[in-house]
Amino acid sequence: MSVVRKPITPKPPRTREKVLVILREQCKQCMLCIEFCPKNVLCLTDIYNRKGYHPVTACDIDACVNCEFCERICPDMAIFLADREEAEKAYKAGALAEGTDIPEFESDSYKKEAK
């Protein structure tokens, strides 16, 4: 009989230097970012943007490793990685353009930490 040891305390959440930013109105649903993401972070939303496309969103933002494949492959520059501190300041100040998503800041775990 083998014994499996588990840590007493869970791992602390990983803090990344950059955060994923999605410009919903620029997305044309080409799905290249979804196809090339090595960690399957991205998926399509159910909503439509003004152009009639389903923009991408992050389905599993915690799996993101900031590899920048999505940023490099997007022909419409609708997805990119931004400096965490600058993005957080803009998010908290409400200074983001309409249709701009930062999935990491929308997550429940972030909202709990911010309180």
Q: What is the pLDDT of residue 35?
A: 96
Fill in the amino acid letter for 36.
F
Q: What is the pLDDT of residue 78?
A: 97
Q: What is the pLDDT of residue 21?
A: 96
**Domains of the chain (ranges plus CATH)?**
18-108 (3.30.70.20)
Distance CA 21, CA 57 (A): 9
Q: What is the pLDDT of residue 6?
A: 73
- Each residue's pLDDT tens digit in the chain (115 positions)? 678 877 677 666 667 889 999 999 999 999 999 999 999 999 999 999 999 999 999 999 989 999 999 999 999 999 999 999 999 999 999 999 999 999 998 875 555 555 5
Neighbours of 23 (CB within 10 A): 19
Distance CA 108, CA 115 (A): 11
pTM of the model: 0.79
Nearest one of 90, 113, 114 to 21, comparing CA atoms? 90
Q: Where are the alpha helices (DSSP H) in the chain?
A: 32-36, 69-73, 84-93, 103-106, 108-114
